Amino acid sequence: QVQLVESGGGLVQPGGSLRLSCATSGTIFSINTMGWHRQAPGKQRELVATMSSVGSTNYADSVKGRFTISRDNAKNTVSLQMNSLKPEDTAVYYCNYRAGALVSWGQGTQVTISA
């Protein structure tokens, strides 16, 4: 089992930036996909961005051009740089790891965008 711990959430004003980080522990398979999902109150959890171990990325349309995902394969960490934040980005952000049928989730970190 893989354990994931997110950090970096908080409260920022619209137009601001935040950087989320996710640290892992446990057995990490070399071929995997790590990423971020989010869940706003009353809404379903949705994909934000993912990045495979070979560098392929996938972004939600709503964050393209504003968010950038990156990872350090040597440290098995994944980060999400979020710029030009909007109130609709407010949500709990979850780190995710997937290797074949094995899926792990972090506990989540709250991101609130408000003036």
Instruction: Tell me what pLDDT residue 36 has.
Output: 98
β-bridge pairing 10-12 and 109-113:
parallel
Between vectors from CA 60 to CA 41 and to CA 102, what angle results, nearest 5°? 80
Instruction: Tell me what pLDDT residue 106 has.
Output: 97
What percent of the chain has a predicted confidence (pLDDT) above 90?
A: 96
> pLDDT (tens digit, 9 = 90+) per residue, 25-70?
999 998 999 999 999 999 999 999 999 999 999 999 999 999 999 9
> pLDDT (tens digit, 9 = 90+) per residue, 97-106?
999 999 999 9
What percent of the chain has a predicted confidence (pLDDT) above 70?
A: 100
Instruction: Tell me what pLDDT residue 1 has.
Output: 86
Measured distance between the N- and C-terminal CA atoms of the chain, rounded to whole angstroms = 40
For residue 53, is it left (φ>0), alpha (ψ between -120 and 50) or beta?
alpha
Give the tokens for residue 16: 């601001």
